[in-house]
Amino acid sequence: MPQMRYAILKLDQQLEFVAMPSSYSYQLTALNQRLHKELDKLTASDVPQLPRVIAECDDLELIGTTYTLIQGLEYINRLEKSFAGIQEKSYPLISLLTEIRALQAQLEQWYEEEFEG
Per-residue confidence (pLDDT) for residue 31, from 0 to 100: 97
Per-residue confidence (pLDDT) for residue 117, from 0 to 100: 62
Per-residue confidence (pLDDT) for residue 66, from 0 to 100: 93
Per-residue confidence (pLDDT) for residue 40, from 0 to 100: 85
How would you write the pLDDT of the chain (117 residues) with one tens digit per residue?
689 999 999 999 999 999 999 999 999 999 999 999 998 888 888 889 999 999 999 999 999 999 999 999 999 999 999 999 998 877 778 889 999 999 999 999 999 998 876
Question: Is the distance from CB of 51 to CB of 10 less than 8 angstroms?
Answer: yes
Q: How far apart are CA 71 and CA 94, in angstroms?
A: 25
Q: How far apart are CA 86 and CA 43, in angstroms?
A: 10
| Angle, in degrees to the nearest 10, between helices 93-111 and 25-39 | 160
Per-residue confidence (pLDDT) for residue 2, from 0 to 100: 81
Give the residue from 117, 100, 112, 111 showing the smallest Cα distance to 4.
Answer: 111
Question: Residue ranges of the domains in the chain?
Answer: 4-116
9: which strand partners?
Answer: 16, 53
